[in-house]
Structure 1
């Protein structure tokens, strides 16, 4: 069966209406096609790197209230939870910590039984774990808030802070599970590399007459490093495959398992392109965060105490040390809060725009977005060739 795809003779009407004067490409025969409609922060066509970066900055500029508000609320809650856990741990072992510090000031005499410090170490390890989980939950909340904002930003519709917070909260659990899964994927090869490196280093010190601190076979350290190197590319590959999960969870109301499958389907055939753009977004966010935290890091620097011949007379009390530590920690937390509030939305917005781009390329999402914005439905655009995995 023959299909003419709706074309007619030059100057004659076809399935898509008559050609304009001068032929199908306009007057002169070679007029460029009309620009894609842009009701919101990005044009409704396949997006290139410049379109995605412009879209991120436009979204940050136009929708800064819901984006920065979500990031501020999430990270402020994380800081308060971590600080509360730290205070609770200190108050639980205040007498033991005071006795330990008094023994240190006395030159090491009168120190408590080392076995008694075990619960203290476990308590502060628990504080660290609570802090890590709180920060992971804050990052997941921001990752869920960004596609919620972008759903309105893509069609030029205003986004309300309360509505964004509610949508992000409703998607928090699956997005948090995704963040923890991504953490496991990345931490396994990293832990193998770091542990293997230190095992090799301590083994070398043992050979040069140092104490045998690990008592491990000499081949175990290099084997762990090789395993870490081998697993690192797999971890990066898996992370890119699941990078669109928050957008899928929020915009398609899917659970974690369905979102993982959907993200892998959307990434298929464009892995290298998505990896490069995600890496660029992460680098830009990291540089901006480092610059924003720099003045707070300077303010948080604690002067080193100078000890005289009498350590007990020259060393400060535990209260003085805790005051210095609390002041330094407060500056560090404020710096991290400011940096995270400003930059935390950047990588999730990049990933959310990549989700929109992939659906425009593969599912003609541009037509649905134009219809939602009250504009004429654009014709499906041929996506540029992509590098396959």
Structure 2
């Protein structure tokens, strides 16, 4: 399986015709490039593989001379050789492509999800049980809130890690290839330190934002108490909290694309963050936030439909057996983590697939990656036809 062409574009190459230009036209027979397209023998813009690979930075992307001799049905597939068409993507393309990737590559998506979640949910469960013991003197509601926060943190970590791993699977699925679990691990394992660094860096940035929000709330509360205007103080705190949450969601959706360049473009954590920020600037930022938020709603509904009946049966069984049904009891916590493992193995790869396709969509809109992908599809089709 050849390395897909996802390296950073040299010279800030943009899609011909603007962000929403027409789909690319394959190179004509005889080596004549289409208007605005890559020139034979010249570096291909947007090559996205590792250094020295067939489509890595500085490669010529030389076209095999036999691609134009392919059967008509294979030529017709070049604009959609895989799970999505090779053009700027719509919402339906992104959601459909993510689902198709799950269906065609269950081993490398759901299987990878089970492995990553199993690794991360073990420390999550241990920390949750320790937190329950440490907070034994507080109310049950406060203890449940603390354990819920731990679950949210580990869910975010697993989502970011899986995005980095599944983006390789999505990259292959876009070109009509199937990536196995072993092949995905072999490709991604060298990027694990950079992925971990990306996760930690995002965590530090959001910790700084959270501390700033807390300090702002404290400042408003102190000012309100000194001035004696309690109503204005409460209103100011509410507005500050809502504004802080909006900023965090907005920034989080934009930075969620960072694992994709870290893996596909083989850049470092900080460069991955800045790359994600650059790709999501302008009006596209709110589109990405909206699609990411919608994907979260869809997966939340699916998780609720699966978890709610199981939880109801569990509580009924515990009550019948005379066992505690508290949300912070050991039995409930263990069952909750097992449900997260099963449900998350499907939902997180789906959202990771959506994130990976959003990254590819932005590169097609801004950097003409669709032209490079068509050339890669030509290369692969020609090599299979030999």
Matches within 5 A, 1:3-82: 37-82=79-124
Runs of 5+ in structure 1 lacking a partner? 1-14, 18-33, 98-116, 204-215, 307-315, 378-389
Q: Residue 327 of structure 1 corresponds to which residue in structure 2? A: 331
Please say which of residues 239-248 and 59-68 is displaced more in the overlay.
Answer: 239-248
CA, structure 1 residues 250+328, in 2 after alignment: closer, same or farther (shift >3 Å)? same
* Contact 2:84/2:174 (8 A) holds in 1: yes
Distance 2:313 2:333 in 1: 10
Provide closer, same or farther for how the CA distance between residues 179 and 286 of structure 1 changes in structure 2, counting only shifts above 3 A: farther
Q: What is the alpha-carbon distance in structure 2 between the residues aligned to residue 289 and residue 153 of structure 1?
A: 25
**Map of 2:57 onto structure 1:** none
Determine the C-alpha separation between the residues in 2 that align with 1:173 and 1:50. Answer: 31
Q: Tell me: CA distance 1:228–1:78, structure 2 relative to 1, closer, same or farther (3 Å).
A: same
Residues 128 and 150 in structure 2, CA contact (< 8 A), matched pair in contact too? no
Judge conservation of contact 1:192–1:228 (CA < 8 Å) in 2: no
1:49-74 Cα distance to aligned partner (Å, 9 max, x none) = 11111111111110111111121112
How many corresponding residue pairs? 296
Task: Select the residue among 234, 242, 247 that pairs with 1:221.
Answer: 234
Residues 117 and 345, structure 2, Cα contact 8 Å, conserved in 1: yes
Tell me which residue corresponds to 1:175. Answer: 198
Change over 3 Å in CA distance of 1:325–1:303 after alignment to 2 = farther
Q: TM-score, normalised by structure 2?
A: 0.62
Which residue is equivalent to 2:60? none
Distance 1:41 1:85, change over 3 A: same
Task: Tell me if 1:340 matches 2:344.
Answer: yes
**Does residue 149 of the first structure (1) align with residue 169 of the second (2)?**
yes
Match of 1:355 among 353, 359, 362: 359
Q: Distance in 1 between matches of 2:151 and 2:286?
A: 34
- Give the 5 Å matches for 1:193-272: 218=230, 220-269=233-282, 270-272=284-286
Change (3 A) 1:192 1:271: same
Question: Is the partner of 1:227 in helix, strand or coil?
Answer: helix
Higher relative contact order (CA 8 A, sep 6+): 2
